[in-house]
């Protein structure tokens, strides 16, 4: 729609102008790391974050979310979120993950709870300024998202501290309209942005995938009985940390809770994880995935094949959070896929 070049000063003033007018969620320092949280003062914004502890998908699929209110007389009523908000500063790989979830929750049984949040959101993507220790989005084709649709504004910081602000939708224009005094990006600016993108794609490869992402499903097709699953899983504590930090994990459980009056209550969903011991257990205590290696393998098949079969995308975007989160150092998808590939040859 339009692309502006905004000086560092103008950019800060813009964020300051946005915070009182909109509900903004943005990356901020949290002790020595970063987290998405409500932004109330522009100075707290940290677009130089390397990676957030939890992915911003938590605003579309909250850790705990009420779906339904009920009473004991059997009346059920949907609870659907409508408050508009701005997700500000989402990294490209995290946007790709959210875009995948958007498809999954929209297709084959429209999930109105998820979709209401998604529709209420304005998504401002910010290109990565500082690479995290384990990021490999560059190998997964998700270091930048200029070719992808579905977000509203794209921010790219140039070397002189100014920002290229690209408005991609009418929703985005509501935010960037405040920048009308900024200059339009010229050819030189666009070239500079291109250079930043090229550099980012190179830098976000802290682990090197020895194949193209599109080769992963076929690789997994022939790796089901590979000894790697058991070898790696031997060290697994089934703690679910890799699930918890993953931007494409969306499995959940549903529970009821009663209020103090013991008459009314709510049904909520909360995040669950396929690495947790009882995830596939049915009533009567039969666990259909009782071995650690079966759970471990299942997670990689979901990332590299099952979701691919559903939506045609690899459900590992290369954020590297699982690598950092795993306490026994077995959760590196690049290592898993490379090793499977080597030993196939």
Options 27, 265, 318, 320; binder of other proteins; rule CB under 8 A:
265
- Rg over CA atoms, the chain: 21
- State whether residue 282 is helix, strand or coil: strand
Smaller CB distance to other proteins: residue 43 or 255?
255
Would you count residue 78 as binding other proteins (CB under 8 A)?
A: yes
**Near other proteins by CB under 8 A: residue from 32, 159, 309, 342:** 309
Cα 43 from Cα 26, distance rounded (Å): 11
Task: Provide the 3-class DSSP secondary structure of residue 196.
Answer: helix
Backbone angles phi, psi at 306, to 5 degrees: -65, -45
Q: Which of residues 310-339 bind other proteins (CB under 8 A)?
A: 310
Question: What is the number of helices (H) and of strands (E) in the chain?
Answer: 13, 14
Q: Go through the chain and tell me how many residues it has.
A: 345
d(CA 284, CA 306): 28
- Judge whether 107 and 135 are in contact, CB under 8 Å: no
* CA–CA gap between residue 263 and residue 39 (Å, rounded): 37
- Pick the stretch among 27-35, 51-59, 228-236, 245-253 that binds other proteins (CB under 8 A): 245-253
State the residue for tokens 């130089």: 48
Interface with other proteins: number of residues (CB under 8 A): 58
Quick one: tokens of 37? Answer: 């949280």
The answer to the question of residue 286 lying near other proteins (CB under 8 A) is yes
Between residues 91 and 113, which has the closer beta carbon with respect to other proteins? Answer: 113
Residue closer to other proteins, measured from CB, 256 or 343: 256
By CB under 8 A, is residue 260 in contact with other proteins? no
What angle do the packed helices 112-120 and 92-106 form, to 10 degrees? 140
Task: Pick from 75, 180, 181, 345 the residue near other proteins by CB under 8 A.
Answer: 75
Q: Looking at 92-100, 180-188, 273-281, 330-338, which segment touches other proteins (CB under 8 A)?
A: 273-281
Residues 111-140 that bind other proteins (CB under 8 A): 111-113, 115-116, 119-120
Contacting residues toward other proteins, per CB under 8 A: 67-68, 70-78, 80, 82, 104-105, 108-113, 115-116, 119-120, 171, 224, 250-258, 265, 267, 269, 272, 274, 279-284, 286, 288-289, 294, 298, 301-302, 305-306, 309-310
């Amino acid at each position: 729609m339009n692309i502006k070049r905004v000086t560092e000063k103008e950019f800060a003033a813009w964020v300051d102008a946005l915070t009182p007018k909109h509900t903004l969620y943005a990356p901020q320092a949290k002790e020595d790391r970063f987290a998405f949280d409500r932004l109330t003062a522009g100075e707290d914004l940290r677009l130089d974050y390397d990676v957030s502890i939890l992915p911003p998908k938590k605003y579309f699929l909250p850790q705990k979310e009420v779906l339904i209110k009920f009473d004991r007389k059997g009346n059920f009523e949907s609870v659907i979120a409508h408050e508009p908000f701005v997700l500000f500063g989402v990294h490209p790989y995290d946007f790709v993950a959210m875009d995948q979830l958007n498809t999954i929750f929209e297709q084959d049984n429209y999930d109105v709870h998820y979709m209401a949040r998604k529709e209420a959101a304005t998504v401002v993507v910010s290109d990565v300024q500082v690479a995290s220790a384990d990021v490999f989005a560059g190998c997964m084709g998700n270091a930048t998202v200029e070719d992808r649709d579905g977000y509203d504004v794209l921010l790219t910081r140039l070397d002189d501290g100014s920002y290229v602000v690209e408005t991609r939708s009418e929703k985005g224009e509501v935010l960037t309209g405040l920048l009308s005094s900024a200059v339009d990006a010229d050819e030189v600016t666009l070239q500079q942005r291109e250079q930043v993108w090229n550099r980012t794609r190179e830098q976000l490869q802290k682990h090197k995938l020895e194949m193209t992402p599109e080769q992963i499903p076929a690789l997994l097709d022939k790796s089901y009985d590979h000894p790697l699953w058991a070898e790696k899983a031997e060290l697994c504590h089934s703690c679910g940390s890799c699930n918890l930090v993953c931007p494409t994990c969306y499995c959940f459980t549903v529970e009821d809770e009663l209020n103090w009056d013991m008459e009314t209550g709510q049904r909520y969903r909360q995040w669950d994880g396929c690495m947790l011991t009882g995830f596939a257990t049915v009533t009567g205590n039969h666990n259909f995935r009782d071995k650690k290696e079966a759970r471990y393998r299942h997670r990689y098949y979901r990332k590299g094949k099952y979701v691919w079969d559903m939506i045609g995308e690899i459900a590992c975007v290369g954020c590297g959070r699982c690598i950092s989160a795993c306490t026994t150092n077995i959760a590196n998808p690049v290592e898993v896929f490379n090793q499977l590939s080597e030993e196939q040859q």
